[in-house]
Amino acid sequence: MRPRRVLNWPAPDMITDGVNLPQRFADQMGQLLGPDFPPALGLAVSGGGDSMAMLALAVPWARTMGIALHVATVDHGLRAESGAEAAMVAEECALLGVPHQVLHWQGWDGSGNTQMAARTARRDLIGSWRGSLTHVLFAHTQDDQAETVLMRLARGSGVEGLSGMEALADTGEGWSIVRPLLGTTRSELRHYIKTLKVPYVDDPSNEDPRFNRVKTRAALAELGKLGISQDKLVGTAAAMQSARTALEARVAEVAARCVTTDYGHLQIDRDSFANVENDTQLRLLAAALQWTAHASYRPRLESLTRTRDEVMAGKSATLHGCQIIVGKAHFHVVRELRAVSELTVPGNDIWDGVWRAELPQSGTEFHVACLGQQGLSQLIRPDNVPAAALYSLPALWNETRVIAAPGLESAETHGKSKVFRLSEWKQYIHS
C-alpha cells in the first residue's frame, strides 16, 4: 500500500493556475454551515474526478476545523469496473485517514429510467448509511448546475425547476445535502487533482449519447456559440432561486391564515384559497400533497393545475397518492385510502413513513392501521369534516378496538395515548 497521503491546508501546491480552490471551498463551507459547524460530516464519493477533488479539498479543511469526516461510495453494480472503483476510493480514504464504507445497490429489477433509478438509490442508501450525520456533501459542480437548468428548461419547468440545485437542500428526512462546489467548474477540479496526483476514474456513461445529460452537455457546447453559456444558465438559476424564496414566503403567509391540521390532515379554507393568485394556489396545493403523501418530489405542473381546477369547481380529485375531498368550507387533503388500506405495522413501528403511536402501556398487543369506517364508528366525528376525509388516517388499534387517532376523541380512551406525525407540513413549502 502507498504511504499515507498528507494534505495540509493551505499549501502553495494546492493553488493551481491562480485559482485558490481550498480557500474557495472553505469560504463556501463557512457560508453554508458556519459558524457553528456540525461535529461530523458525510461525503458521497463515487471515485470520479469531481468527488475525488471534493475529498481532497474536504480532508485538510476538516482537519483544520476539527470536524470528523465519514465517506460513502455507492456501488450500483451496473458496470464490471464499479467494484474496483469503490476499492480505489477506499484505498485513498485509508491513505488520508478517513473512514470509508461501500454501499451496494441491490434489488433493482432493471425497469424504468436507469439513471433516475440510480440517483434515487444513491440518495436512499446514503440516507440509511448516514446514522447521526445531519449533513452529507455531494460533488455537484457549476457544469452540473448549467446542465440541470437546460434539461429542465427543455421539460418546460417553471421557477422551481429553473432554480436548479440548491447548495444546501433539506431532504425532509433528518439530513441535508450540501453542495459546496456549485460555483466551481469541472475543469478547475480536474486540473486541481491532476496537480496533486489524486487518483480518479472516468465513468464511460458520462460519454454515452443514450443519456439525456450527455446530450444536454453536447448541446450546451453548441448553444455557447449563441451566447447561451454555462455562466448565463447558472446566473438564471441564481435569479430563479431568489424569485423562489420570495414566492415561498408568500405561500407561507397564505398558509398561516387558511390551512389547519386539526384532524390529522390538511384542511384548506375554500374562500381564502380562491382569493389568492394562481401561482400561490399551485404552490400551496403542491406542498399539501407532498406532505400528505410524504413524497420527495412535487406533482407535475400539468397534473397539479388540472387538479386545482377540478377542486375549485367543487369536484373531489386524486393526485400524488392523495385525495382532495371538497367539503362545505374546506378542501380536505388526505391520503388516498387504497394507498394505505392494507398497511398494518406493530404499535411501536412507523406507519406510512411518518406516523408514530404513543402506546398507553407495554405488554399489550397493539397495531397501527388506517381508521376506516369501522374505526371511525367508534370515535366522535366532527360535524364539519366529511367522513371520507378521516378513513385513511392512522389509528392505534388493540385487536378490533380503536385506542387513538389523530385529532379524534373517544370518551373511553381520550388522553391515554396518541398518534402523531413526525414531520411538520410547512417544511414542504420550502422543498
Q: What cell numbers appear for 236 in the block? A: 438564471
| pLDDT per residue as tens digits for the range 54-64 | 999 999 999 99
Count Cα atoms within 13 angstroms, Cβ side, for 172.
Answer: 20
CA distance 372 to 392: 6
Phi and psi based region of residue 48 (left: phi greater than 0; alpha: psi -120 to 50; beta: remaining): beta
| pLDDT per residue as tens digits for the range 114-172 | 777 888 888 999 999 999 999 999 999 999 999 999 988 888 788 888 999 999 998 87
Q: What is the dihedral of CA 50, 233, 166, 273, to 10 degrees?
A: -160
| pLDDT per residue as tens digits for the range 35-44 | 999 999 999 9
| pLDDT per residue as tens digits for the range 219-261 | 887 787 888 889 999 999 999 999 999 999 999 999 999 999 9
User: What is the CATH superfamily name and number for domain 12-236?
Assistant: HUPs (3.40.50.620)
Comparing CA positions, the residue from 30, 48, 43 lying closest to residue 71 is: 43
Q: Where are the domains of the chain?
A: 12-236, 258-335, 337-425
Same fold: 12-236 with 258-335 = no
Rounded to the nearest 10 degrees, the angle between the axes of helix 278-293 and helix 301-312 is 100
* Confidence category of residue 1, pLDDT binned at 50, 70, 90: very low
The helix/strand/coil state of 334 is: strand
Select the CATH number that applies to the domain covering 258-335 from these four: 3.10.450, 3.30.465, 1.20.120, 2.50.20.
3.30.465
